[in-house]
Chain A
């Protein structure tokens, strides 16, 4: 694909990726999320809402990453240069389940 994916297409155990403009238009996509405009729209709404929630009391401490965990799949979302980057990955937490 000609549009830049900024390397997020090469993330290990990735199932798919999306690069969106801030209003949700698909710039680049691949894998399970290829041309998935429905998911793109849902994620755009999530991003805009999430930025209204202060993570800590410090206003300079801005949001770095949004994760939406659905069973064994996780949508990881971040914003860079006013673009939304989404990576759909297998949810493989490193630490074992604490007994």
Chain B
């Protein structure tokens, strides 16, 4: 059940520099979040992953999207039907 997902989220937030993690389904529904992750951005994160995938070869791996600001980084990647966003402070 969703306990595995909870455990994986908990584990990923212990990586160095990670402040938050979000996972969103194809419809923009948040399936899980840990740390300081902006829940209202779920829809945009899912949409962004879909738009970036259109730049890639449809049969190849999905792209990694990286948003950088002065003090932080967001890493986004879609696997199957799930989009994951990692929030990292730099």
Contacts and interface: CB of A to CB of B under 8 A. Distances in A.
A–B touching in complex (CB under 8 Å): yes
Interface of A: 39, 42-43, 45-46, 49-50, 52-58, 61-71, 75
Interface of B is mostly: mixed
B38 interface: yes
A66 B68 CA distance: 6
A63 B89 CA distance: 13
The A contact surface, by secondary structure, is mixed
Interface residues of B, number: 30
B61 interface: yes
13 contacts: A46-B51, A46-B52, A46-B55, A49-B51, A53-B48, A58-B71, A61-B71, A62-B70, A65-B67, A66-B66, A69-B66, A70-B57, A70-B61
